[in-house]
């Protein structure tokens, strides 16, 4: 593993394979995890003359009436969605924090049972509304795995192009709002300025800025528009130049570093114990990215690095996302240079509708088109789980089919849901003023949590 000289304490994967720690080989050792926590509590007891009650260090010098419980949220955008935090405060110190979710519950997993497999994309795209194309890709891969269909190379490349652009737009929102939460208002304007470039390309390609239903079982809804190469070239020129503004504003800013370095620390062991993935895990130094470890859609044919940090604090999570945007731009450039020719969806006519021109020429094609969009297609009985790397971590889709035209069951492994478990760990004995900075560094999307 080699150090990236362009960033501070941020690493990228290289040719040298690092030694794998024992805890990664053995998996999550909950016993060792508990021993570490006990040692931490024992040190706190020894240093502060405190006692331990229900895993919490209680200072006997503090009277009960000096502790108070306050509710933060649910209010948007302060808590990055309709998230409520139950805070137990001792002065300005957060002694305990409990995330309370469920205010945005929409029952999308149950709704999936009432929709055909083809209609399912309109449902899942609204879960993580900042990364809708990743939701569509994960769902489509699960359906295709049950169907056993082959996806043409051009459709695979388009999927990689769109999802990596979506990763950039999502990280731009995360960086912009993280800056705004700590007072860097210029970062908010910068981030949304560049995000507009990506959303304009999405609108030109899919017809919508968000919630596209563009990636579908069998391929994509339509081919790339005329002139797409020029649009991608503009993105590849303007975003790297704009990222220098981000560097000038934040990287060595003493106020920014004072509000982010050493704040919201979480260890690699704790991340693995709680199923926390994505930039939050990689910021602790763990080189785990499903694009590299479990590649999909042909992404293994493109050259990119896995960006990691070392401290696992708010600053490292910000630096990891900056690094990941650069790596996604590398992938986009490679896809644009090597875009294969051919069809943008499978040739299996049981799954894909007929070409538009055939509808005007053939009654059979018209009937086929009508039946595909009204009744859908039947999927062989079975169950599967497929996972991809979304901007927030491991996004998984568990799908069960009974042989009909709609899923029997669907469950989503949502990264935001798992990552919120990090909040009580990283906020213990921290200042209440750091709460929003820690939430922003996790980059949760509440539609992904309360689906």
Provide the pLDDT for residue 138: 97
Q: Return the higher-pLDDT residue of 376 and 379.
A: 379
Provide the pLDDT for residue 285: 94
- CA nearest neighbour of 313 among 437, 166, 140, 150: 437
- Band (35; pLDDT cuts 50, 70, 90): very low
| pLDDT averaged over every residue in the chain | 86
pTM: 0.85
SS in 3 state form for 246-296? HHHHHHCCHHHHHHHCCCCCCCHHHHHHHCCCCHHHHCCCCCCCHHHHCCC
Residues 316, 310 contacting (CB under 8 angstroms) = yes
Provide the pLDDT for residue 404: 92
Fold of 108-449: Cytochrome-c3 Hydrogenase; chain B (1.10.645)
- Band (44; pLDDT cuts 50, 70, 90): very low
* Distance in angstroms between the alpha carbons of the first and the last residue of the chain: 38
The tens digit of pLDDT for each residue in 108-131 reads 999 999 999 999 999 999 999 999
Provide the pLDDT for residue 158: 97
Residue 321: strand, helix, or coil? helix
Residues 376, 120 contacting (CB under 8 angstroms) = no
Tell whether the model's pLDDT for residue 25 goes beyond 90.
no
User: Which one-letter DSSP state was computed for residue 433?
Assistant: G
Residue 197: strand, helix, or coil? helix
The rounded percent of the chain whose pLDDT value lies above 90 is 66
The tens digit of pLDDT for each residue in 268-316 reads 999 999 999 999 999 999 999 999 999 999 999 999 999 999 999 999 9
Tell whether the model's pLDDT for residue 352 goes beyond 90.
no
- Alpha helix segments (H runs only) across 183-253: 185-206, 228-246
Tell whether the model's pLDDT for residue 340 goes beyond 80.
yes
Tell whether the model's pLDDT for residue 18 goes beyond 70.
no
Task: Report the range of poorest mean pLDDT among 69-83, 191-205, 294-308.
Answer: 69-83
For 247, other C-beta atoms within 10 Å of its C-beta total: 13
CA–CA gap between residue 106 and residue 109 (Å, rounded): 9
Provide the pLDDT for residue 61: 59
**Structure token pair of residue 239:** 């975003």
Q: Return the higher-pLDDT residue of 42 and 250.
A: 250
Q: Return the higher-pLDDT residue of 5 and 143.
A: 143
């Amino acid at each position: 593993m080699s150090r990236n000289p362009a960033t501070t304490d941020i690493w990228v994967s290289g040719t040298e394979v690092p030694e794998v720690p024992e805890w990664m080989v053995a998996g999550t050792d909950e016993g060792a995890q508990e021993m570490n926590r006990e040692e931490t509590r024992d040190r706190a007891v020894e240093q502060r003359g405190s006692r331990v009650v229900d895993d919490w260090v209680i200072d006997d010098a503090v009277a009960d009436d000096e502790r108070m419980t306050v509710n933060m949220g649910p209010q948007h955008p302060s808590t990055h969605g309709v998230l409520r935090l139950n805070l137990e405060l001792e002065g300005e110190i957060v002694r305990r924090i409990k995330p309370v979710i469920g205010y945005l519950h929409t029952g999308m997993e149950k709704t999936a049972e009432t929709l055909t497999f083809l209609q399912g994309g309109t449902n899942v795209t609204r879960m993580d509304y900042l990364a809708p194309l990743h939701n569509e890709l994960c769902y489509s891969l699960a359906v295709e795995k049950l169907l056993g269909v082959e996806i043409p190379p051009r459709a695979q490349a388009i999927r990689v192009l769109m999802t990596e652009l979506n990763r950039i737009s999502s990280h731009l929102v995360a960086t912009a709002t993280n800056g705004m939460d700590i007072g860097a208002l210029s970062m908010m304007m910068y981030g949304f300025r560049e995000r507009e470039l990506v959303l304009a390309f999405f609108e030109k390609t899919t017809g919508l800025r968000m919630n596209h239903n563009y990636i579908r079982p069998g391929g994509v809804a339509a081919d790339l528009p005329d002139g797409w190469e020029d649009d991608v070239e503009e993105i590849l020129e303007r975003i790297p130049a704009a990222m220098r503004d981000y560097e000038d504003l934040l990287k060595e800013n003493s106020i920014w570093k004072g509000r982010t370095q050493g704040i919201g620390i979480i260890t690699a062991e704790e991340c693995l114990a709680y199923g926390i993935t994505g930039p939050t895990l990689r910021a602790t130094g763990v080189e785990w990215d499903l694009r590299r470890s479990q590649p999909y859609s042909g992404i293994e044919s493109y050259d990119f690095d896995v960006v990691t940090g070392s401290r696992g604090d708010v600053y490292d999570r910000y630096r990891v996302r900056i690094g990941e945007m650069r790596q996604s731009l590398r992938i986009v450039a490679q896809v644009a240079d090597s875009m294969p020719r051919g069809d943008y969806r499978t040739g299996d006519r049981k799954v894909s509708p007929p070409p538009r021109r055939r509808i005007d020429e053939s009654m059979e094609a018209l009937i086929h088109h009508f039946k595909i969009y009204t009744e859908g297609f039947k999927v062989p009985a079975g169950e599967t789980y497929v996972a991809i790397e979304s901007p927030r971590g491991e996004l998984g889709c568990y799908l069960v089919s009974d042989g009909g035209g709609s899923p029997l069951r669907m469950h989503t492994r949502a990264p935001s849901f798992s990552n919120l478990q990090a909040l009580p760990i990283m906020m213990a004995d921290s200042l209440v003023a750091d709460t929003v900075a820690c939430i922003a560094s996790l980059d949760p999307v509440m539609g992904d949590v309360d689906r």
